[in-house]
Amino acid sequence: MTPERFKRITDMLAMRQTDLTVCMEEVHKPHNLAAIVRTADAVGVHRVHAVWPRKRIAKRKGTARGSQNWVEVKLHQDIQEAVAELKASGMQILATHLSDSSVDFRAIDYTKPTAILLGQEKFGISEEALALADHHIVVPMVGMVQSLNVSVAAAAILYEAQRQRELAGCYTRGCPLPPEEQNAILFEGGHPIFARICKQKELPYPQLDAAGEIIADEAWWQKVQMSRSSWTHLDDDEDDLPEA
């Protein structure tokens, strides 16, 4: 990993907003999903949530990464599960929906822990999800259309959140992620070939030093270079390995 790439990743991690997220309720068009995750990354969101029906989520992993692998996408089987997790984290739940109680999206305090619910392209947010929200928010319209594309609405709201948080100094507090998670992101981003080998061989990620270089003993390096069957057998004879 070059010093420039190491600095870029560590600078990015230092500005991650772990208490700001979006929750996509059955948003299914690939270009919308990709655009929302890309915007989330751009404003420093670390993890987004997506609700999928059981028949779809069964074909997907519980978590994935998007936007060049920098944003974690956590999948949920239903909206109750997703909102319960977000509320347990102390987040206010905002639903993008026009109702009698809706407020201008700019009237919300986004410096508080916040989750923004975004609805399915055709039908919007479900009644069930609306009932779980703390506030309904709208992006004001003065033209003939009544709503924006879901990814455009997400971008408008997230950049208002970014504006407020920047003014409040939320991007200068240092990395809020646990050390092991920081190390994993740095390893995957800075050493993608070794990260792929670790996943294939089910090897733990090694630690990185202050310059982003790998710290590992000889046993780890040998396992990286061997076939899985070879190093599995070697585990029984680890005492015979040379000292690191």
Q: What is the pLDDT of residues 181-192, one digit of tens each?
A: 999 999 999 999
One-letter amino acid for residue 226 of the chain: M
Burial class of residue 78 in the structure, from the number of CB atoms within 10 Å of its CB (0-12 exposed, 13-18 middle, 19+ buried) = middle
Binding residues for S-adenosyl-L-methionine: 96, 139, 148
Backbone angles phi, psi at 165, to 5 degrees: -70, -35
Beta carbons within 10 angstroms of residue 81's beta carbon: 13
* CB 37 within 8 Å of CB 151: no
- Please state, in angstroms and rounded to a whole number, the distance separating the CA atoms of residues 103 and 106: 8
pLDDT, tens digit, 9 for 90 and up, residues 79-123: 999 999 999 999 999 999 887 888 999 999 999 999 999 988 888
CB-based burial of residue 166 (10 Å sphere; 0-12 exposed, 13-18 middle, 19+ buried)? middle
pLDDT value at position 137? 95
Q: Point out the annotated binding site.
A: 96, 139, 148
- What is the structure's pLDDT at 98? 81
pLDDT at 56: 55
Q: What is the pTM of this model?
A: 0.82
Q: Which two tokens stand for residue 17?
A: 């907003």
CATH class of 17-172: alpha beta
Judge contact between 49 and 76, C-beta under 8 A: yes
- Please name the residues in contact with 75: beta carbons below 8 A apart, sequence gap of 6 or more: 49, 50, 51, 52, 57, 60, 61, 62, 63, 64
| Those residues with Cβ within 8 angstroms of residue 207's Cβ, 6 or more apart along the chain or in another chain | 183, 214, 215, 216
Structure tokens at 179: 């050390």
SS3 category, 141? coil
For 92, phi then psi, to 5°, come to: -80, 140
pLDDT score at 119: 87
Q: What is the pLDDT of residue 244?
A: 35
Residue carrying the six token digits 């305090």: 109
What is the residue-level pLDDT of the chain in tens, covering all 244 positions?
A: 888 999 999 999 999 999 999 999 988 888 999 999 999 999 999 999 999 876 554 444 445 555 557 899 999 999 999 999 999 999 999 999 887 888 999 999 999 999 999 988 888 888 999 999 999 999 988 887 777 889 999 999 999 999 999 999 999 987 788 999 999 999 999 999 999 999 999 999 999 999 999 999 999 998 888 666 666 555 554 444 434 3
Give per-residue burial for 17-36: e unless 16+ CB within 10 Å, then b: bbbbbbbbbbbeeeebbebb
Q: Where in the chain is the domain with CATH 3.40.1280.10?
A: 17-172
pLDDT confidence of residue 67: 54
**What token pair was written down for 161?**
């959140």
What are the φ/ψ torsions at residue 94 (nearest 5 degrees)? -110, 130
